[in-house]
Amino acid sequence: MTNAPVPSDSMAPAEPKTAPEAPGELTLADLANLRTAPVLAVGQRPGLLAELKTRLAACDWFTIGVMAPSAASALAALRACEGALGWPALAAHGQNPTPGSVAGPVFLKGNQHSGQFLLRAEAGLGEGILISGHLNGDPDPALEATWGPLPLDLFNA
């Protein structure tokens, strides 16, 4: 008898993995291959935020993706990120549904260049925040990247 792999339900949200316990052990590179944000130890937050802010300082503008269990939690994560990073608040795109009209898991996509965000129902994603840095001039792969998934509460005070 063989131990065949059990098929996974691709629509089920990924279970969060606990980050390594040692503070400072977790870097942005460690998050790059995760499907959902890890649960962080309290001591891991400052180092991760410091590394992220250093990377963000090299970019001119950003896009943000928020994979969340609800529209309310996606908007809360967006607003906490904007506040913590000193970004201007993004406005809902004109054809965007109201948060109360979107049930279940969502994906929020925000763009500083346009100043707007879109929100849509999206099942089967992980959970977390993805931030991409962009330059106004020629692209520079050494500076521009996507970081995350970061925990939804990373920017909460």
- What are the boundaries of each domain within the chain? 30-150
Residue 78 has pLDDT above 70, yes or no: yes
79, 59 Cβ separation under 8 angstroms: no
Encoded amino acid at 33, one letter = N
Among 94, 93, 89, CA closest to 78: 89
The answer, yes or no, to whether the previous bond of 149 is cis (omega within 30 of 0) is yes
Residue 82 has pLDDT above 90, yes or no: yes
Distance, in Å, from the CA atom of 64 to the CA atom of 83, rounded to the nearest integer, reads 14
Distance, in Å, from the CA atom of 148 to the CA atom of 44, rounded to the nearest integer, reads 14
The reported pTM is 0.81
Average pLDDT over the chain, rounded to an integer: 84
30-150 folds as Dihydrodipicolinate Reductase; domain 2 (3.30.360)
144, 132 Cβ separation under 8 angstroms: yes
The pLDDT tens digits for 87-125 are: 999 999 877 777 777 889 999 999 999 999 999 999 888
